[in-house]
Amino acid sequence: MTNIAYATFAGGCFWCMVKPFNQWDGVHAVISGYTGGTLANPSYKDVKTGQTGHYEAVQIKYDPDKISYQQILALYWPQIDPTDPDGQFHDRGPQYRTAIFYHDDEQKRLAEQSKAELEASGRFKKPIVTKILPANLFYPAEEYHQDFYKKNQQEYLIDREKSGRDTFIKENW
């Protein structure tokens, strides 16, 4: 029997947050979706307004015997600008903020520890604003958002290039 755990992260546009996790042994699925808001069963159109309180996020289903939560956290941080309180790259608004949603006390402890280590590293001159929040209801996004990087490779690459994410990652990580 396979051991299953979940990790949930917001890092701006969820299209760009799937591939970095999807390619690791022990990761069973990376689902794009919405979490942290007040509206039940939100749609992309609802969340895009920035009025529902939801974050665009990914939920990672993984085997902790093959990949640890610490390893997943180490993959998360270099995908984002943890100093931006208003969104990520060209995606602006509360739905594009960064956050780590912990599923238990151990994930909370490890997330807080990794954030403290990043703050202490001096890598960034501005404060680390990524929130660490309890996981709550996660709503999978519409099917056309799932594995977008595979289904719409050209559009994904163009959007990623235009966003400035890769430039930021190269310059800061």
Catalytic residues: 13
Residues 6+ apart with CB under 8 A from 167: none
Burial of 24 (0-12, 13-18, 19+ CB in 10 A): middle
Cα–Cα nearest to 55, from 111, 86, 11: 11
User: Looking at the chain, how many residues does it have?
Assistant: 173
Residue pair 35/139 in contact by the 8 Å Cβ criterion: yes
144: tokens are: 């056309």
Residue 76 phi/psi, 5-degree rounding, is -65, -55
- CA pair distance 44, 56, nearest whole angstrom: 9
Place of tokens 């100093």: 83
Chain centre distance of CA 164:
16
